[in-house]
A and B are shown apart, each in its own frame.
Chain A
């Protein structure tokens, strides 16, 4: 079909649609946790990220919210990726993600980015970069609050 253009398929990679359809870590944490609300005020996407930080590590992460395929799949991937990471590593990964979204070179050695690399296609759709970074910004905000 004509719409299965390469261009669209670079955005809507199968792995992204899988995370959208079957989001990992969607829901609420029961234990006492750090809650971060983040909106994309221009489009109405909103996410609440819940982080459980223990001994400088992200012990658990979940999210609830409303958004498009890109913002929700990114939240799903991000929560999967940062679980178990020390705060500093999670923040570094967030930096790497930000570089990826800007289409710049990034260190792909330090972490196993796995599914996250499927989001690279977003760089070709500048209007959608904010969707992909929403959950990551929430994570950064939460961790900075935790640190201070």
Chain B
């Protein structure tokens, strides 16, 4: 994989921030976009912007073909068996909310259990809290190991015959933990439960095969995988989606509308009320083409190399605490003793280095870590070893800068 060549395709990376070359280490929040994606969205608006599935004119057909073509690209990317299982959403949050509001509200009742982990992003906690409140079901958490991983033994001990839904991140956005979602799904199925996998942090970085995982629902966002914001996908097994009620009602999702009753379109369109985010889907399709041309295995190997190197280098910085397991996806969450993560991020920014600081939408996990906030450096296919060296140098300088204060 030629990272230099790849970087040339991301125009935003070629700039200075605060007088220093930009080092973008916040791809877990949102990734940058290659020119192929920017052009695809641009081309759609310049050449064939039109509404989809309506009317008979030529532009309408072009837009529909591009939109449905993107759906087929997603199907193939996830190795789903049918495009009927691919629903375009606004992002991972919307996708999980759809499952909680539709599947959850219909299938949960008092005494049922929804099983989560403390490492979930807020968007994989709150929809379930709401579903639990509405139905009388209960939330249960699989405890974490000390290093921030989940043991299959604990999963086995947490699931019961009352468990109806197991919702878990494929990759933790804070710890970088890669969860054994295939094994968890197998155990969930043995108890008659379905799994909902939050794939926001895995899909951009590794090959995902929903049939191999055998998960029932899988959600991800386009913007973290070099696609546009405002677009995401809910994958669901066809037999489950067929029995689910739509969450949004209105234009385009209907079959017949009468004054007092209506019927729905077939899958996947019954879940896509209103004019969809057409340009977003087109951009996601272009992002998938871009990533697949490079190869997901190559991308994963590159990021794994970066993460290993960063772990080694950052552990050499005195006073740095790193959270999460040794073996991890391409992100490192850390704190510098005596310096608040905001201050770390501000000093790094003055060096042109962009990292995230805060609670990363994972307040329960912050509590588990016993911190109020952390800093996070996250990597993608365009990051380099030299950039990790700059990060490490920046951290040493941060320590020196504030060292004077606390001396």
B358 and A44 form a contact (CB under 8 A): yes
Asked if B161 is at the interface (CB within 8 A of a chain A CB), the reply is no
Q: Which of A25-45 contact B (CB under 8 A)?
A: 42-45
A21 and B405 form a contact (CB under 8 A): yes
CB-nearest residue of chain A to B405: A17
Residue-wise, chain A 69-89 has the 8 Å CB interface mask toward B (1 for contact) of 110000000000000000000
Selected contact of B343 from candidates A7, A44, A66, A68, CB within 8 Å: A68
Asked if B340 is at the interface (CB within 8 A of a chain A CB), the reply is yes
Given contacts A44-B359, A44-B363, contact A3 B347 (CB under 8 A): yes
Selected contact of B350 from candidates A5, A44, A131, CB within 8 Å: A5
B347 and A8 form a contact (CB under 8 A): yes
Residue-wise, chain B 160-171 has the 8 Å CB interface mask toward A (1 for contact) of 000000000000
B358 and A42 form a contact (CB under 8 A): yes
Asked if B198 is at the interface (CB within 8 A of a chain A CB), the reply is no
A8 and B372 form a contact (CB under 8 A): no
Q: Which of B211-258 contact A (CB under 8 A)?
A: none
Give the docked Cα–Cα distance between A1 and B351 (Å). Answer: 13
Asked if A52 is at the interface (CB within 8 A of a chain B CB), the reply is no
Selected contact of A45 from candidates B373, B398, B401, CB within 8 Å: B373
Selected contact of B372 from candidates A3, A44, A128, CB within 8 Å: A44
- Counting chain B residues whose Cβ lies within 8 A of the other chain, the interface size class is 20 to 34
Q: A residues within 8 A CB of B397?
A: 1-3
B41 to chain A, nearest CB (A): 27
B397 to chain A, nearest CB (A): 5
Give the docked Cα–Cα distance between A20 and B406 (Å). Answer: 10
Given contacts A3-B400, A4-B401, A20-B405, contact A43 B373 (CB under 8 A): yes
A7 and B342 form a contact (CB under 8 A): no
Q: A residues within 8 A CB of B400?
A: 1, 3
Asked if B366 is at the interface (CB within 8 A of a chain A CB), the reply is yes
Asked if A67 is at the interface (CB within 8 A of a chain B CB), the reply is yes
Q: Taking chain B's interface residues, is the majority helix, strand, or loop, or is none over half, making it mixed?
A: helix
Give the docked Cα–Cα distance between A70 and B357 (Å). Answer: 14
B342 and A128 form a contact (CB under 8 A): yes
Q: Which of A110-134 contact B (CB under 8 A)?
A: 125, 127-128, 131
Asked if B18 is at the interface (CB within 8 A of a chain A CB), the reply is yes
CB-nearest residue of chain A to B404: A17
Asked if B346 is at the interface (CB within 8 A of a chain A CB), the reply is yes
B342 and A68 form a contact (CB under 8 A): yes
Inter-chain residue pair count (beta carbon < 8 A):
61
B177 to chain A, nearest CB (A): 20
Q: A residues within 8 A CB of B363?
A: 44
Q: B residues within 8 A CB of A58?
A: none
Give the docked Cα–Cα distance between A110 and B372 (Å). Answer: 37
Give the docked Cα–Cα distance between A3 and B358 (Å). Answer: 23
B336 to chain A, nearest CB (A): 12
B346 and A11 form a contact (CB under 8 A): yes
Asked if A24 is at the interface (CB within 8 A of a chain B CB), the reply is no
Asked if B341 is at the interface (CB within 8 A of a chain A CB), the reply is yes
Asked if A46 is at the interface (CB within 8 A of a chain B CB), the reply is yes
Given contacts A69-B343, A70-B342, contact A21 B406 (CB under 8 A): yes
Q: A residues within 8 A CB of B346?
A: 8, 11, 125, 127-128
Give the docked Cα–Cα distance between A7 and B342 (Å). Answer: 16
Given contacts A67-B340, A70-B342, contact A44 B373 (CB under 8 A): yes
A17 to chain B, nearest CB (A): 4
A37 to chain B, nearest CB (A): 14
Give the docked Cα–Cα distance between A8 and B19 (Å). Answer: 13
Give the docked Cα–Cα distance between A8 and B343 (Å). Answer: 10
Give the docked Cα–Cα distance between A125 and B363 (Å). Answer: 25
Give the docked Cα–Cα distance between A28 and B145 (Å). Answer: 36
The 3 closest A-B pairs by CB, nearest first: A68-B342, A68-B340, A44-B359
Additional A-B contacts beyond A8-B346, A128-B346 (5; CB < 8 A): A7-B350, A8-B401, A43-B373, A67-B340, A67-B342
Can you spell out 17 A-B residue pairs with CB atoms less than 8 angstroms apart?
A: A1-B401, A3-B347, A5-B350, A20-B405, A21-B406, A43-B342, A44-B372, A44-B373, A45-B373, A66-B372, A67-B342, A68-B341, A68-B342, A70-B342, A70-B343, A125-B346, A127-B346
